[in-house]
Structure 1
Amino acid sequence: MNNFQYSRATDVADAIRLLNSDPDAKLIAGGTNLIDLMKENVERPSRLIDISRLPLGKIEETAQGGLRIGALVPNSDLAYHPQVEQRYPLLASAILAGASAQLRNMASVAGNLMQRTRCAYFYDTATPCNKRSPGSGCSAVGGHNRNHAILGASPSCIATYPSDMCVALAALGALVHIAGPTGERRIALEDFHRLPGDTPHIDTNLGASEMIIAIELPPGGFSRNYSYLKVRDRLSYAFALISVAAALNLEGNAISEARLALGGVAHKPWRSLEAEQSLRGRAATADHFAHAADLLLQGASAASHNRFKIELARRAIVRTMMQAASAAPQSQAHKKIA
């Protein structure tokens, strides 16, 4: 681990000032991903700016009837918050599907958004990786790529984004509140993370001197017909091969609104408005869900070892949508797929 300077921000403006004065500085709160990356010599910040004591740890109702979640709310606190459990159970379920209880206790909401890929080649500094060292090549393209992307990849990078929480946030239509030198702005969660293209080392659309200050949930939380299904190699402490966040509003057996997002398949949570719109006015049947799955997976392309993920994703989408339609969400306590 390299030497670095340490500063403790006194408020948001101070954190932004410190970021703006040092382009190689990094913010730290729980540190559950950044410290690992520093130990592996993947991240080499010149300065750590501690924001853990800033007043960004509240969950509050918005004037529009949604929820505003402070950037420093721990993942566990968010998952077990009464308003989230009652109104946004899809989000609570996705959080509980991720990591371990100990990590969820430490990890912040903003840190979850900012976590980096778990591609083994990204972590291995002895191998070429465009995300770690732009222009060096992508070892995963010709290497072991069983866990890698089937959607939105590029010749420069086929890594996937690891968050479970953000898949649910994308499906719910969450907004990211950002503060920077020129003031505050908002961006849709589904637009926050970037596809790799020719710049896979740039994970998000967050500016160099900007920071996340909150996440906003809209009023509608799909509190009855929802499910989050995570398919992984082992049931404990593993990242998704495929994850699906599904939410429906039903009028009888007819779908009035549908939300659908995938994890484990791309460099960002994957959502398709076309797939969701195809379900409006349709009966909640496996055939209609299969058609939506085909639309969501349009353009899917396999690498040498992950072709199975395309069919796995298709089946997982249908299964999760059926769970949502039946108001029988996947249990994160028992994890056995219903």
Structure 2
Amino acid sequence: MIRYGIVGCGHIAKKHVEAIRAAEGAELVAVCDKDPERLAPFAVDGVAGYGDLGEMVKQADVDVINICTPSGLHPALAIQAAEAGKHVVVEKPMALTLKDADLMIRACKENGVFLSVVHPNRFRPAMEELRKRVETEAFGTLSHANATVRWNRNQEYYDQAPWRGTKAMDGGVLMNQAIHNLDLMLWMMGEVEEVSSYHATRVRDIETEDTSVSILRFKNGALGVIEAAVTLYPRNLEESLSLFGEKGTAIVGGPTANWIQAWKFADLTDSQAEETIHRIHEEPYGKPGHQRLIEDMTEAVAQGRPPVVSGMDGYRALALVIACQQSAERGRPVRMEELERNPGVKA
């Protein structure tokens, strides 16, 4: 059994508990939170509870540490876990700066442990099907892509915890909500060369942006558009990823990007396309993404091979968010090569 410990007993930790308990070969043995009231409901059924990560890694027999704290706390905890010889699963975004993400990657590499960033949307059945179409070059030359997140996060959402909506701990709509969709876009389209962005705080009383629009140029020459907002009334409206090429059109969308809304390819008949759409619509969610990610990390540790969603995958998504933020702040396009990094890391 691969033994897991969770740091941070907030809302997202519940998904990690469920994922670990459902994953074959995985076992939850310890949880950690400095707040005894948050810790108590998780430290049950033989799971040891700790108020400090240092105490947990010394006393608990743990192989993997899952970091579920506010985003700004991820780097220090990941480095501490790695230096204790523990593999790391960290919630998105992995960090709020590239320098911190670099330090996390280095710490894991130097201590011989794996780092996986939680981008579970890659495991959605529709996204896996879309990835196959990209890998087999069914689109031909890709012309452009569109990533859209039109969600509602009302003021009560931000007021429920002091870190939400802050620059130091949250990072804004691109960093905290849309980064999953940006990861998917990068997974499908490849590396970005340049971005041009506008950000605004139109509705919510927060430090960060609640609305963002960006235009991208990919290294392969394709173009892209990102639209992200948490201002939709009265509830989530849409999360979608659209890809367009000389031989294919695909849109995966819905309130969450789980359903195929367009599926046209030169190498597929209408009946073949409809069969795929029907199959995905019969089971749009599949096995929970967090569970798939934990199962992958469990196998990675047991087999000694890297996890499917790596630290560098998380790094690339973070770099795209930061490029968009810097473009909006500077009022001009930003090339990815301009981003400030620690030496030795290239996204």
Larger fraction in strand = 2
Greater RCO, 1 or 2 (C-alpha within 8 Å, sep 6+): 2
What is the TM-score with the length of structure 1 in the denominator?
Answer: 0.29
Larger fraction in helix = 2
What is the TM-score with the length of structure 2 in the denominator?
Answer: 0.28
